[in-house]
Structure 1
């Protein structure tokens, strides 16, 4: 019998002073059986960094044709394609060909560093690509905020996300590896 996704609920209040975006989102997050709590919480943090009226979680891990998050316009064109992890060159090329902006959040410590060493020389030809690295310690801190039903507050200022709940507060400070676009 196949394992089923675990469902989490999050009421997320966002104050993004960098973009002037202030809103609340009621999120339902499906954690794939192969997905860690750290990765799932990173998806929520990245949602907060890029939140907009049409930002949405996708089938992600369950579907090779979709990123972890995306934002589409009324014409069903992908405005933002957001990936987590260490995609191969072919997947990045596909994303850059289909979306107006592509955002990649790399995580995982040493394996992420090795991935970047191999990819750094290959990404220069991809338009609209922005790559960030998330520290391993940050992932552990995000996991400590996780509950099946969460009340989260997100404040973004000067590129840093402060995500807090009754469990505590975490500063998520993505380190830019490549690209120059502003969120």
Structure 2
């Protein structure tokens, strides 16, 4: 019998000073059995850091034609394609043709994530943004994840301050571009 997804709840007080976004979010996140906690947490952070009207989690692993997070306008058109982890160049090419902007948030070494893209066709590659966190940040946050989570996420000058279940963590948000 196949294992089902594990539901995690994140109640997040978001204060993104850089973008002027202040919200209380209650996120129910289904973690597929093949998905790591690090991937799931990066997906939650990507959602918060890209938060705007029309944002949503995709169906996850089963949704092979959608990113981890996406933003749709009122007509249903995808305006932001937000990948998590280490997507391949073909997937980024597809997403960047559909959306106005394409973003990748990774919990892995960004140089290793981007290396396979060299020489590959990616639509509007110069506009693609890849974001990563300080080494050890995601691992430290994963250690305090529970099924029900309370978080305060503050962003100031691309510095993240995360209080997750009573544990305070900080990181810089690093931006990378394809050369």
TM normalised by structure 1 equals 0.87
2:91 matched to 1:91?
A: yes
Pairwise CA RMSD of aligned residues?
1.9
CA contact (8 A) 2:132 2:175 kept: yes
State the partner residue of 1:8: 8
CA contact (8 A) 2:42 2:106 kept: no
Q: List aligned pairs for 1:142-181, cutoff 5 A.
A: 142-178=141-177
In structure 2, how many angstroms separate the alpha carbons of the residues matched to 1:80 and 1:175? 19
In structure 2, how many angstroms separate the alpha carbons of the residues matched to 1:64 and 1:134? 26
Q: List aligned pairs for 1:48-67, cutoff 5 A.
A: 48-67=48-67
Gaps of 5+ in 2: none
CA contact (8 A) 2:96 2:123 kept: no
**Cα-to-partner distance string for 1:119-167 (whole Å, 9 max, x where unaligned):** 2454585254111233441111120231111111110110122121333
Q: 116-125 or 6-15: which moved more? A: 116-125
State the partner residue of 1:114: 112
Count of aligned positions: 177
Gaps of 5+ in 1: none
**Cα-to-partner distance string for 1:40-73 (whole Å, 9 max, x where unaligned):** 1111111111112321111122211110001101
Higher helix share: 1
CA contact (8 A) 2:97 2:123 kept: no
CA contact (8 A) 1:70 1:81 kept: yes
CA contact (8 A) 1:144 1:167 kept: no
In structure 1, how many angstroms separate the alpha carbons of the residues matched to 2:17 and 2:144? 23
Offset at residue 175 of structure 1 (A): 1.7
In structure 2, how many angstroms separate the alpha carbons of the residues matched to 1:59 and 1:82? 13
TM normalised by structure 2 equals 0.89
State the partner residue of 1:68: 68
Q: 133-142 or 94-103: which moved more? A: 133-142
In structure 1, how many angstroms separate the alpha carbons of the residues matched to 2:171 and 2:20? 19
